């Protein structure tokens, strides 16, 4: 006879109650997280939807952002965010991956154990401090390079890249470290050089981790506000196309919301347009995350034996 | 006949001071199956990894003595380690398919060696798979992921991957450790075919397996070679008491 049967009905009832309680507590916690995200989105929609109803789309995506004259063209802000983010990605991703490869594959172990915690500490520097640094140190440097002002999209990209680097390096290095030693041995044993092993075996094997590293780093960059607000010059104009466009002042979507939210009349069109920008920002990050999880998902199904 | 590999007075010490090999002297001849057996920590894997200098990866380790491959020291300055690893190719205890399709796995090594001609690649893929007794099972799905194969198939794929390079010596470090008896038998049988073309050095899964596949064998204990000889000598009439104890299962 099993112990459950010996325990008696009272004991059994108490145990079933305990199971019920735990299960539902966990469920509540899980559901409430989703609920909160949904509520945030609903609030955003409620406040921001007049933007898309009251402003003709052609005007909304035009190039003039002058809220005082009731001109709400968000194109300069979109372009500003895009420029700053693309610049940051171009700088941070190759640099971050290279550092991770160096740390994970080439650096002697003492150096790695010294550098890795140091890099992780860098992630903890408050963004406002970096913004300050960019304003005081970077901006004059860039102006000396010949730009009309030091507060440019490029300055913002540099600061953002620096903010994304610790995340990218740290998580990529973890991903490389997690690649089984057998892969390396297997590749070396059939005559691969060290670099061929890294390029053809280790990096592909670590791909999902690397994608996550880049996404988290870039995610941090896109949403960043204060540092960017300080160093990009805050001019809502569309830079002329060409190599020089990175060296002109811009204004990002996040910076616009942060800078104007304090002075706007609640319920006005300007107010809801700021929320409208929030919706667009939300959709952009959502799209990027979906693409990233698709990429990671494909990798996962390959592991399980899907077709290449 | 000249030995293809001759090892003389070889010592090897890891960075932490562990002396893994002591005064090892061995000769291995072309087209034989040479079995290295002994209890764990006897130095078998260390010795195998020295042959193609995978031991270089152990930071801070030291060696003394010589290993000659085709009459040339493998420690010689200026030797091409990458080429050495193509000629003394190694298969590990745990099957290690690389990310990619079955075909990718077989062509990795060749492409890295600079072979680009598709017809040569295809021909090598088929031949190496046949030699590893895997062709019939996978010929219709060469472009599917190597991770979808069974454990035994993965290991034969790794053997085929080594063979695709057409090495001189195939080193097998306990290649059947994770395999079921049927797959083990398939791998063992393929060795009879392989030794016509290759020299095979193998650490067996058990004394019995060693006795089944070996032409000659060496018994290692605590980093030293206790006894070397033909299979009938070592497994039937060992000279050394320690070999006899191990072969008859008194320790190990």
Q: Is there a single domain that holds both residue A38 and residue A142?
A: no
Q: Of A232 and B88, which is predicted with more confidence? A: B88
Does residue A201 lie within any of the structural domains?
yes
Q: Tell me how close the Cα of B89 comes to any Cα of chain A, in angstroms.
A: 6
Structure confidence at residue B170 (pLDDT): 93
Q: How distant is the Cα of A101 from the closest Cα of chain B, in angstroms?
A: 17
Of the candidates B14, B16, B21, B31, the residue with the CA atom closest to the CA atom of residue B67: B21
Residue B246, both tokens: 């191990």
Task: Give the domain range for residue A207.
Answer: 59-303
A179/A104 Cα distance (integer angstroms): 11
Q: Using alpha carbons, select from B133, B112, B114, B135 the residue that is nearest to residue B123.
A: B135
Judged by CB atoms closer than 8 Å, whether chains meet at A192 and B112 is answered as yes
Looking from the CA of B54 toward its CB, the CA atoms found within 13 Å total 26
Same domain, A19 and A108: no
- Residue A1 domain-assigned? no
What's the CA gap between A186 and B151, in Å, rounded?
A: 16
Q: Which of A274, A234, A257 minimizes the C-alpha distance to A55?
A: A274
Q: Tell if the CB–CB gap between A308 and B104 is shorter than 8 Å.
A: yes
Give yes or no: residues A107 and A214 share one domain.
Answer: yes
Task: Find the helix or strand (DSSP H, E) in which B201 lies.
Answer: strand B199-203
Cβ separation B98–A180 shorter than 8 A = no
Task: Say yes or no: A208 and A121 in one domain.
Answer: yes
d(CA A210, CA B236): 55
Q: How deeply is A270 buried, as exposed, middle or buried, from its count of CB atoms within 10 A (0-12, 13-18, 19+)?
A: middle
Shortest distance, CA B156 to any CA of chain A (angstroms): 13
Average pLDDT over residues B149-158: 88
Note the helical H segments in chain A. 3-6, 8-54, 57-60, 75-101, 109-122, 127-133, 139-144, 153-177, 181-189, 194-197, 203-205, 207-223, 226-231, 253-260, 269-303
- Asked if A173 and A36 sit in the same domain, the reply is no
Return the residue in B45, B112, B140, B160 with the most chain A beta carbons within 10 A, the one to mutate for interface testing.
Answer: B112
Whether A65 contacts A74, CB under 8 Å = yes
For residues A160 and A211, state if they share a domain.
yes
Give all domains of chain B, ordered by start, each with its CATH number: 5-247 (3.40.50.300)
Predicted local distance difference test score (pLDDT) of residue A303? 46
Q: How far is B109 from chain A (nearest CA, A)?
A: 6
Q: What is the crossing angle of helices A153-177 and A207-223, to 10°? A: 150
Residue A149 shares a structural domain with residue A30 = no
Q: What is the pLDDT of residue A307?
A: 33
Interatomic CA distance for residues A106 and A119, integer angstroms: 17
Find the residue in A nearest to B101 (Cα): A308
Q: How confident is the model at residue B8 (pLDDT cuts 50, 70, 90)?
A: very high
Instruction: Name the residue with tokens 């002329």.
Output: A240
The pLDDT of residue A304: 42
Q: With 50 as the cut, is the pLDDT of residue B30 above it? A: yes
Closest Cβ–Cβ partner in B54, B83, B145 for A189: B54
**Same domain as A65, residue A30:** no
User: So what's the pLDDT on residue A228?
Assistant: 84
Chain A environment of B54 (Cβ under 8 Å): 185, 188-189
pLDDT of residue A297: 67
Q: Across the interface, do B96 and A180 touch by the CB < 8 Å criterion? A: yes
Q: Is residue A237 part of a domain?
A: yes
Chain B residues with at least one Cβ partner in A under 8 Å: 52, 54, 57, 59, 82-83, 85-86, 89-92, 94, 96-101, 104, 108-109, 112-113, 143-145, 147-148, 158, 161-162, 165
- Asked if residue A4 is part of any domain, the answer here is no
Nearest residue to B32 via CA among B164, B223, B199, B178: B199
CA atoms within 13 A on the CB side of A28: 6
Residue B250 has pLDDT above 90, yes or no: no
Q: How far B67 CA lies from chain A's nearest CA (Å)?
A: 18
Q: What's the number of domains chain A is made of?
A: 2
Tell me: do A70 and A110 sit in the same domain: yes
C-alpha to C-alpha distance for B44 and A47, rounded to whole angstroms: 72
Beta-carbon contacts of B119 under 8 Å, excluding residues fewer than 6 positions away, are none
A119's CB contacts (< 8 A; 6+ apart) are: A99, A165, A166, A169, A170
Strand partners, A233: A250
Distance, in Å, from the CA atom of B162 to the CA atom of B194, rounded to the nearest integer, reads 12
Cβ of A303 and B147 within 8 Å?
yes
Whether B108 sits inside 8 A of A193 (CB atoms) is: no
Determine whether the interchain pair A108/B59 forms a contact, defined as Cβ–Cβ distance below 8 Å.
yes
Q: What is the pLDDT of residue A62?
A: 80
Inspect the interface and report whether the beta carbons of B99 and A189 lie closer than 8 Å: no
DSSP bridge partners of A72:
A65
Q: In this structure, are A126 and A167 located in the same domain? A: yes
Say which residue, B3 or A292, is predicted with more confidence: B3
Report chain A (308 residues): mean pLDDT per 10 consecutive residues: 60 87 94 93 90 82 81 86 89 94 89 90 86 89 81 88 91 90 85 87 88 85 81 79 78 88 85 90 85 70 40
Q: Tell me what pLDDT residue A42 has.
A: 92
Which of B81, B97, B99 is the best mutation test for A, with the most CBs of A within 10 A? Answer: B99
Domain-located, residue A5? no
Coil, helix or strand at residue B9:
strand
Residue A223 neighbours by CB distance under 10 Å:
11
DSSP state of B26: E
Structure tokens given for B226: 């206790």
With cut-offs at 50, 70 and 90, classify the pLDDT of residue B252. Answer: low
Contact (CB<8Å) B144/A305 = yes
Ranges A279-293, B14-28, B223-237: which has the least confidence = A279-293
pLDDT band at B190 (very low <50, low <70, confident <90, very high): confident
Bridge partners, residue A258, by sequence: none
DSSP string, B55-118: GGGSTT-EEEEEEEETTEETTSTT--HHHHHHHEEEE-SS--PPSSBHHHHHHHHHHHTT---H
Q: In this structure, what CATH number is given to the domain that contains residue A132?
A: 1.10.3720.10
Is residue A270 included in any domain, yes or no? yes
- A118 shares a domain with A64: yes
Helices (H), chain B: 44-51, 81-87, 102-112, 118-131, 135-138, 151-164, 181-197, 207-213, 231-236, 241-247
| B chain contacts of residue A204, beta-carbon cutoff 8 Å | 99-100
CB pair distance less than 8 Å for A308 and B90: no
Order of strands, sheet of B88-91, starting from the edge strand that comes earlier in the sequence: B88-91, B169-173, B199-203, B33-37, B216-221, B224-230
CA distance A51 to B51: 72
Same-domain check for residues A102 and A44: no
Question: Taking CB atoms and an 8 Å limit, are B83 and A190 in contact across chains?
Answer: no
Strand arrangement of the beta sheet that strand B19-28 belongs to: B19-28, B5-13, B62-69, B72-73
Residue A181: how many other CB atoms lie within 10 Å: 10
Q: Is the ipTM of this complex over 0.85?
A: no
Q: Which residues in A lie closer than 8 A to residue B83 (C-beta atoms)?
A: 191
Tell me whether residue A50 is in a domain: yes
DSSP label at residue A304: T
Does residue A3 lie in a domain region?
A: no
Residue A116 to chain B, least CA–CA distance (Å): 20
Asked if A295 is an interface residue toward chain B (Cβ–Cβ < 8 A), one would say no
């Amino acid at each position: 006879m099993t112990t459950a049967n010996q325990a008696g009905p009272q004991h059994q009832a108490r145990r079933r109650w305990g199971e019920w309680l735990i299960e539902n507590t966990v469920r509540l916690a899980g559901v409430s997280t989703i609920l909160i995200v949904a509520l945030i989105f609903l609030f955003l929609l409620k406040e921001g939807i007049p933007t898309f109803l009251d402003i003709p789309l052609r005007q909304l995506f035009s190039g003039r952002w002058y809220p005082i004259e009731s001109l709400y063209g968000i194109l300069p802000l979109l372009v500003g965010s895009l420029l700053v983010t693309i610049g940051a990605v171009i700088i941070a991703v190759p640099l971050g991956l290279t550092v991770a490869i160096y740390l994970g594959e080439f650096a002697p172990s003492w150096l790695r154990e010294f550098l890795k915690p140091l890099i992780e500490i860098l992630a903890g520097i408050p963004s406002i401090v970096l913004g300050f640094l960019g304003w005081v140190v970077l901006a004059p440097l860039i102006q000396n390079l010949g730009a009309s002002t030091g507060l440019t999209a490029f300055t913002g990209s540099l600061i953002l890249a620096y903010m994304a680097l610790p995340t990218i390096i740290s998580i990529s290095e973890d991903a490389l470290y997690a690649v089984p030693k057998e892969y390396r041995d297997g590749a070396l044993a059939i005559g691969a050089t060290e670099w061929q092993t890294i390029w053809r075996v280790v990096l592909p094997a670590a791909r999902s981790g690397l994608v996550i590293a880049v996404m988290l780093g870039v995610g941090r960059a896109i949403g960043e506000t204060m540092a960017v607000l300080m160093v990009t010059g805050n001019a809502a104009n569309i830079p002329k196309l060409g190599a020089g466009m990175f060296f002109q002042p811009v204004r990002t979507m996040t910076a616009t919301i942060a800078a104007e939210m304090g002075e706007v009349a609640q319920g006005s069109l300007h107010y809801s347009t700021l929320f409208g920008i929030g919706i667009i920002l939300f959709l952009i990050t959502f799209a990027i995350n979906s693409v990233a999880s698709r990429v990671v998902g494909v990798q996962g199904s390959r592991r399980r034996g899907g077709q290449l | 006949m000249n030995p293809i590999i001759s090892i003389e007075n070889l010592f090897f010490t890891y960075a932490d001071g562990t002396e893994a090999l002591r005064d090892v002297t061995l000769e291995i001849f072309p087209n034989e199956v040479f079995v290295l057996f002994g209890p764990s920590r006897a130095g078998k894997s260390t010795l195998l990894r020295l042959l193609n200098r995978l031991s270089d990866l152990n930071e801070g380790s030291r060696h003394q003595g010589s290993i000659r491959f085709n009459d040339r020291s493998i420690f010689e300055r200026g030797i091409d380690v990458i080429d050495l690893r193509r000629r003394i190719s190694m298969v590990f205890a745990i099957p290690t398919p690389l990310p990619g399709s079955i075909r990718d796995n077989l062509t990795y090594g060749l492409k890295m060696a600079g072979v680009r001609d598709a017809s040569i690649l295809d021909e090598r893929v088929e031949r190496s798979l046949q030699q590893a007794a895997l062709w019939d099972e996978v010929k219709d799905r060469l472009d599917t992921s190597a991770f979808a194969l069974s454990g035994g198939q993965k290991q034969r794929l790794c053997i085929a991957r080594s063979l695709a390079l057409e090495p001189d010596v195939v080193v097998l470090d306990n290649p059947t450790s994770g395999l079921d008896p049927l797959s083990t038998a398939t791998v063992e049988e393929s060795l009879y075919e392989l030794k016509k073309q290759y020299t095979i050095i193998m650490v067996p899964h058990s004394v019995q397996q060693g006795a089944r596949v070996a032409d000659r064998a060496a018994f290692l204990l605590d980093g030293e070679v206790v006894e070397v000889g033909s299979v009938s000598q070592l497994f039937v009439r060992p000279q050394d008491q320690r070999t006899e104890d191990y072969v008859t299962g008194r320790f190990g």
